[in-house]
A and B are shown apart, each in its own frame.
Chain A
Amino acid sequence: MSVRERAQRLAAVGSLGVRKEHLIQYGVTAITACLVLAPLVPVVYTSFLDRPLYDTGGILSLDNYVRLLSDAEFHEVIRDTLYFAFLTTLISVGLGVVMAVVIGRTDLPGRSILGEIMLWPIYLSPLVIAFAWVIMYSPAGYGTLLVKNLLHVQPWNLYTIPGMAAVAAVALMPIAYLYCSSSAAVADPALEDAARTAGAGPLRILLSVTLPLMRPPILYSAVLIFTIGLEVLSIPMILGGPVGIDFFSSYLYNKWLGGAQPDYGLVGAAAVFLLLIVTALVLLQNALLRDTSRFVTVRGKATRPHIFRLGWVRWALSAFILLYVLLAAILPMVGLIMQAFTKFLTPLAPPWRFLTLQNFAVIFSYPAYTRSITNSIVIAVIGGVLTTFFVALIALVAHRSEFRLGRVLDFLAIYPRAMPGMIVGIGFFWAFVLVKPLGPIRNTIWALTIAFSVRYLPVAFGAITPMLARLGAELDDAARTAGADWWTTCWQILLKLLKPALYSSFILLFIQLIKEYGAAVFLVAPGSEVMGLTMLQFWVQGEAGPVAALSLVQVAITMAVVYGSRKIFKVKIYA
């Protein structure tokens, strides 16, 4: 029988197949380990060195740490950073929970549209949001002056830590909203019914059952937002810069780029310090998530949560949310648009008198601007594609093979969550200096592509693994018994079934990569500029108009990709 002969031939070829399988598995693990450790090792190493890495004869000592901890400026930085991160977390999580419950669980008018709008800031760079807020609400901002002329008092001061926290909270609130609303939407209504039959009214249920059950997403998003608060660079640079408030990230930035001679050792020590705090937070987050069975609210049965009826309050709440959206997102964006299309922006004269396309003309005539646009797009597209494929491989090796180091690989892939972008940047800076064969890519956009991609490995991993977990293991088993080796099974069955997750991973990465700049601070070179960093640098030089225009270009690209992908690939991002 010919089929039998074929089977024998298949068996003969197969012995090579086993080796191929191991080659791929060990290869993927080795590359992942290199990518994740490449930035870590040099950062830690330099923190103990008494001179720059490239100088010979370095002596290991704790000197950098002693200097760092005795630096009064650093103490102030720590205090301010923690205060800022704490305040940001409080505001954004508080708002996020309220929005999630009100939009997800009540009969609020226009809730589906409001739910959509709530997510907008997630597509924007915190940098752009900070620009927009400064244009509108800074002491010399359009909105501030408008109010000041009306009331003849200074209404608020954005250049304070609470002001900065407000901006950060607007940018980060969608994270809390997203986690809480997905949990609120799938909660088992039987739990609330039980409280109801026990005699509890709607408000009582909300406070005693619904909210406590949301504890895991609340804690999880709180830790996540706190972490981002510790490492965000745009806000201290843009809002703190004018009044001399420094956070961790801007401290690193200034110590590296501010002086004539960068204090590498001090930066290394501060970076390790930040790394330790963030790692501890991520471990805390994992520990919080471990014991979550108490909060298991989703059972196999498909149900639909009840809608709380609010009565007349719903109109008031709806108005409140609209006001929030108007003040926090829409007005600042309007300010940004006005800034981009005018020569001067002042409340003393109507903006159409100064209408101009000059700012856009500037962008497209300066090579540094245009290059940063094309570079960002190239990095986002190529980094997005390569990272998606590589992370898909990682997920398959870690979760769908008998590979012994699967758990190690799993950990490596999510560890970059604990690596702030700036530290990835510093680390890769040293890695490219130290590893001579990597020299040629050092000052190119490929250095940035690698660093950005490493930073967002966990984003892709988080987009792919849940879907992989939903594909029953018997699909692999069926392919294996039918005669496919591990790699053929992955390629022909699993990757094809993962397609939707691969698309959303790519889109998520694209959104992140196009706005990333933190890791670029230390890696950028003439010719490899990216949008975010270009905007930051030109802003600091006072070029508000072109920066606003460039911000709009970035927003337009992101929106085009997000909505295009929804239409073309039917990708549900953040579903």
Chain B
Amino acid sequence: MPYDPGDVVEVLRGPRQGAAAGTYRAFAATMKGLKMTFGRLVEGPMVNSYPEEKTPVYPRFRGRHKLHRFEDNGLEKCVGCSLCAAACPSDCIRVVAAENTPENRVSAGERYAAVYEINLSRCIFCGYCEIACPFDAITMGHDYEMADYNRSDLIFTKEMLLAEPLERTPLRSADE
């Protein structure tokens, strides 16, 4: 029985090249490649030298958290309600509330956060704490350079979160 290829898909191939055409084609292709890479050389580098040049972040960029005070009387906005801790999916916020007294008035509400810690080694920067907060006391800042040598150094206390962060990250302007 003769071999019947049936409906085999026909493979299209270029014409077989002889020695001269093949050599010329290899030579020309090499030249084309060299021209191509030289073009890239002329274009120059297209990278940012990171620690010196920082890519500006967008206004809604979710970086390291910030705690806020009222600007007029300097009281803390946080009332220690722990809604942020409840909203946190990675369970990295710890809040211990205490009562405000007339002698020791820390926040504007009845209570204040005696302990407010965020474990940044667990934080996933989802921003749910910011959404959960009824007083806009916690927001996500623009700082993303938080690498450290020690895990315990990544637990940020209330004082650290309240402090004005070093302006390390440039903010992207409207037209950028």
Q: Do the two chains bind?
A: no
Chain A residues packing against B (C-beta within 8 Å)? none
Chain B residues packing against A (C-beta within 8 Å)? none
